[in-house]
């Protein structure tokens, strides 16, 4: 039999990149098999968003409101994919034993989970792109974005990734995470700027809402989508808060995942539940 030599330490960094890419590829292949679920998710988000706008408009669609809240819908779509699919995926892997098999490799826990969330972020971005294209085309929404709008947009995706990481980490520890994830998603949906911009909330509620994943990012994005430069978002405090929020969520998510994985190994919790 041919002996296969596995490189050990020489290209450790390059190897972790290959392992990450392998996880992303796996995530995309799994997504390909469950695309009908993704389509249903997009349709549900669109229906809820339209229904709320129609209700708030007293029986008509308010496109002026839509211009301000559409970015939040897109952020919610990405965050939901990361949390719901991320949590469901890792729970299925625990129950199916494939998470244990993943531990039988040189992949670092952080590389493993970053690969998973990268695939989910791509799925979320695809959902957001479909929603954005549909709403812009159907309702003729108009934006005059500053080129720097791409910065808060990317940070929103990273913030959603951080949120997904935290939920995935919790799933390794808490078997009945489904209900908790649902509550968190509802909070993001209702208080993250998708119904009305959070700037219209009372001050205390707005301050609290800014701590919700993606909410402050949507505020910063709306500033740049209105043609203001990035410095305006920095000056009003939304951009610094977004940077801090994203950094904290990503760091806590990665740390909690690695910690809960170690804890699960101590308690035998990686086995099917």
Nearer to other proteins, 25 or 134 (CB): 25
Give me 130's structure tokens: 């479909």
Report in angstroms how near the CB of residue 4 gets to other proteins at its nearest: 5
Residue 9's Cβ-count burial label (10 Å; 0-12, 13-18, 19+) is exposed
Q: Going residue by residue from 106 to 135, which x/- string records binding to other proteins, judged by CB under 8 A?
A: xx----------------------------
What x-and-dash track marks residues 88-107 binding other proteins by CB under 8 A? Answer: --------xxx-xxxxxxxx
Q: Are 256 and 176 in contact (CB under 8 A)?
A: no
Taking the C-alpha atoms of residue 230 and residue 227, their distance in angstroms, rounded to an integer, is 9
In total, the chain counts a number of residues equal to: 273
Do the Cβ atoms of 220 and 238 come closer than 8 Å?
yes
Least spacing, CB of residue 272 vs other proteins, in Å: 6
**Rounded Cα distance, 214 and 121, in Å:** 13
Candidate residues 1, 10, 137, 179; the one interacting with other proteins per rule CB under 8 A: 1
To the nearest whole angstrom, how small is the minimum distance from the Cβ of residue 256 to other proteins?
18
Decide if residue 2 touches other proteins (CB under 8 A).
yes
Q: Does 194 bind other proteins (CB under 8 A)?
A: no
Place of tokens 């969520």: 249
Between the alpha carbon of residue 145 and those of residues 10, 151, 221, 223, the distances in Å are 46, 12, 9, 9
Based on the shown chain and the rule CB under 8 A, indicate whether residue 262 belongs to the binding site for other proteins.
yes
The contacts of residue 213 (CB under 8 Å, 6+ apart) are 79, 159, 160, 162, 163, 188, 192, 245, 249
Contact string 32-71 vs other proteins (x = CB under 8 A):
-xx-------------------------------------
Contact region with other proteins (CB under 8 A), list: 6-14, 39-47, 72-80, 194-202: 6-14
- Site residues for other proteins per CB under 8 A: 1-4, 6-8, 15, 18-19, 22, 25-26, 29-30, 33-34, 96-98, 100-107, 262, 265-268, 270-272
């Amino acid at each position: 039999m041919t002996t296969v030599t596995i490189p050990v330490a020489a290209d450790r960094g390059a190897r972790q990149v290959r392992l990450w890419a392998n996880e992303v590829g796996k995530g995309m292949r799994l997504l390909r098999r469950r695309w009908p679920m993704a389509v249903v998710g997009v349709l549900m988000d669109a229906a809820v968003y339209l229904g709320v706008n129609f209700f708030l408009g007293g029986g008509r669609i308010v496109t002026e409101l839509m211009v301000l809240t559409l970015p939040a819908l897109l952020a919610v779509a990405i965050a939901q994919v990361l949390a719901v699919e991320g949590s469901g995926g890792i729970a299925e892997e625990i129950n199916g034993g494939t998470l244990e098999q993943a531990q039988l490799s040189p992949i670092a826990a952080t590389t493993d989970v970053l690969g998973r969330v990268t695939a989910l972020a791509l799925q979320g971005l695809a959902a957001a792109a479909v929603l954005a294209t549909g709403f812009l085309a159907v309702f003729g929404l108009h934006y005059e974005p500053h080129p720097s709008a791409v910065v808060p947009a990317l940070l929103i995706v990273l913030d959603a990734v951080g949120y997904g990481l935290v939920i995935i980490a919790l799933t390794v520890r808490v078997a009945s995470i489904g209900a908790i994830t649902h509550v968190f998603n509802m909070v993001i949906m209702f208080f993250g700027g998708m119904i009305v911009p959070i700037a219209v909330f009372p001050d205390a509620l707005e301050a609290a809402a800014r701590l919700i994943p993606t909410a402050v990012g949507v505020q910063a994005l709306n500033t740049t989508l209105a043609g203001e430069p990035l410095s305006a978002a920095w000056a009003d405090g939304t951009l610094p808060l977004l940077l801090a929020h994203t950094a904290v969520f990503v760091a806590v998510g990665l740390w909690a995942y690695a910690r809960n994985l170690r804890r699960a190994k101590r308690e035998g919790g990686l086995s099917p539940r």
